Structure 1
Amino acid sequence: MSAGWVAGVTRARALRTRCLGVESIREVAASPTLEDALRYLSATPYRRDVTPGATCSEAQRAVSATVLWHLRILAGWQPAVGADAVRALAAGFEISNTEDHLRALVADSRQPASQRRRLPPYRLGGLAMAWGRLARTRTPSELRSALAASVWGDPGGDSPAAVATGMRVSAALHLAAAVPDAARWAAARLAVLFGREVFVVGRRMPDVSTRRAARLLGRRAVAAGSYADFRQVLPPAARWLLDDIDEAADLWRAEARWWGDVERDGLELLRRFRLGPQPVVGAVALLSADAWRTRGALELAARGGGPADWPAEVLDAPG
């Protein structure tokens, strides 16, 4: 078995050189204009998809597309277990494609053809789980039916909110099951999603998504009537991210902390393990965290630059 991992792990370790790194990300964030930031990125690992003249959202999407390209190649070097791990970790790209597709379906029913504009979907290749079938749907109800017949499962509704939360709950469950080294990440991220939906937005999740979320968060947590009760009864694997977030309105702070923890764990997985899926998971974690920071830096550059305004946990990478 070990021999089968040699090429895949070697490829995973090499991907550290495709990260921009905190110091370079600070340079991007300090750029006085977005165009200056794009010019800087043109000489970095993100040059493949980032082009001059792009809008901020286009540039951020291009950063994500670069990461996806690396993940597709990485998956191709893995034994089956490693490829499955990369696919589970990359599920967010299929979710993004599906959300864009559903928004277009809803808009198409309201706008004439001349006013319709669709984002090109991310090219998933072998990382797709059901995208080919989902992309062919023509109405929200067809999309829901296609999801229900796939590994994603029924989201419990065909509204954008139901589909978005349903797919994210399914992705968290799949990640925890398929990638044990990422189970803690999946549970904590799901706790933030559930807390935000229920206690900030005030929107009840469809029953099917609530039942699925209970598998990671516990029945008492998903039935809690207040954020304080919710946080108190979460299992340790999910509660750590919310330890000092006393109010639901402050859940936004959890994202930067989550990415910092994912990156820290990713470094440890790369350092501690020689062969097996762990270094592969670690490499995906580092690439993803680097891209998250870079997207944030582009947002700052578009506003005139100012890394000093960032929370410390955003730019302070673990050693």
Structure 2
Amino acid sequence: MAAAAAAEWRTVRKRRGRHPRPAGRGAAPEAPEPSGDGGAVRRRVSEAREDLLISDLWHLTEGIIQKCLTKPLEQLQGVMVPISEALEHLQLEPSQPPAETPSSSLREDSVKRTSHFKCVCYGIGKFASCVIARNQLAFLLLFLEKLQIPRNHCYVFDPLFNELEISVLNTLGLTVLNENEEGKRSIYGEATIFYMIHCGTALYNNLLWSNWSVDSLSKMMIIGNSFKGIEGKLLARILLKDYSYVAKILKGIEEIEFPQTLPYMDIFNDTAIHWFPLQKLKELPSEIWTIREEPEYSEGEELEIIRNQRKLVQPFLGH
């Protein structure tokens, strides 16, 4: 599967941020490719998760998560509720080490206590050999636990995954996608969090296009490159020409940047949690919602994403 996926995609993402990464995603040279030891990879992911759990980064980010999720939850419920009640409904609990083989009753209890959200993850990279990618995966697992989102409700894809990594992700309980969506996934009315650390601007632009309505955007959150940062790096005319949906939504978005703490500076630099307040979306000019042309990019553009060479298909619907 991995070989077919690699053949289907081309070019590589470039990473933009305050701390540019050298080739290979990580600040340090990558280790050789693992040769089939899924248990060893899972142990490394588990160790990264344990380190994150006691880190200043996670401690600070937990508070940001609670703050960011309060307003979207109110929008989903259609009523304004006190913060304490909203957080209670979300049932945000301290993250705990996951049991190796949870019983069916515990699994059912976890599903009953889950929040309304689903999750989609693009672009984590080769976590079996890259410490940066591995930490991003470990953070994702903590995030799912924090929100009580079942792992099988998190859809993951990166064309760089090899067969070993796909096997590890399946063992962890995540749902691995087998289609290059290029970010063109509609949420179809389901509240969804997109986890897209250091992805290309075209990927965010495609995602916005696929959900270009007040109703859909108000049910979405994006954890990824700071949109304020994107605005600051590109000339206004270039942003509007090449990434028009990103440009048009800037006044309808709120974001909070991730804290920058050692030793995670290169892992989550230029990263923010974004959400789309319903009131802000309604205040945008009505005409911006009437134009929904699919984004097109010239072959010469540095899109920072890996393109799907197959014929365009409908967005993957999930399970």
TM-score, length-scaled by structure 1: 0.25
